[in-house]
Amino acid sequence: MTGCIFVLIGPSGVGKTTLASLAHSDGLAERIITCTTRSVRPNESPGQDYFFFTLDEFTDRERNGEFVENEWIHGYRYGVLIRELSEVLQSGHRAVISLGYGGAERLKHLWPDQVTILGILPPSSDSLRQRLKARGTQDAEMLLRLRAIDQEFHTVQALADYMVVNDQLATAYQQLQQILSVGASSLMTNH
């Protein structure tokens, strides 16, 4: 049996990582560890939250063809190692991962029958501003992210197989649970 991957997309600070973490901790899906060149945040552990690489290390891995997707997001490199995805698909398991828009598109193109894209949106740009501020996002970075919001909303709507508005975390998580259940059943019966 072939596994399936649920990809969460949406603006930074909308709750993608939180929703994915809830699904992982509840045993609804496996977690795929992604790579980044940004610094470790105080609440993160290398190898558990991300694989943290220097820019040189990341570039070497890119040259070696180790990434299925990688991109610049807000000044940092992010990527997913091919081996992480292949292991889930070959194991027949279900995984949830948060990716950038380009990565989500590429995964859907590579594995159209095994990848489902879920768009996660805030109820408003004001609520997103509050979330970013609470997360400790610097003013310059926040301004950059907020300027991109309208375009991101359109991109999410164009790519997503399902949409979830994260106004109340509990409600958004219930919707995610339903999508994982229905989506995985549909995917699994096709194989």
Domain ranges across the chain: 4-189
Of the spans 53-62, 73-82, 121-130, 179-188, which averages the highest pLDDT? 53-62
Residue with tokens 């299925």: 68
The 3-class SS string of 40-75 reads CCCCCCECCCEEECCHHHHHHHHHCCCEEEEEEECC
pLDDT of residue 21: 93
pLDDT digits (tens, 9 = 90+) for 112-163: 999 999 999 988 667 666 666 676 666 776 677 667 777 788 899 899 999 9
pLDDT at 25 over 80: yes
pLDDT of residue 92: 92
The CATH number of the structural domain formed by 4-189 is 3.40.50.300
pLDDT at 2 over 70: yes
What is the chain's mean pLDDT, rounded? 86
The burial of 21, by beta-carbon neighbours within 10 Å (0-12 exposed, 13-18 middle, 19 or more buried), is given as middle
Confidence of residue 30 (pLDDT cuts 50, 70, 90): very high
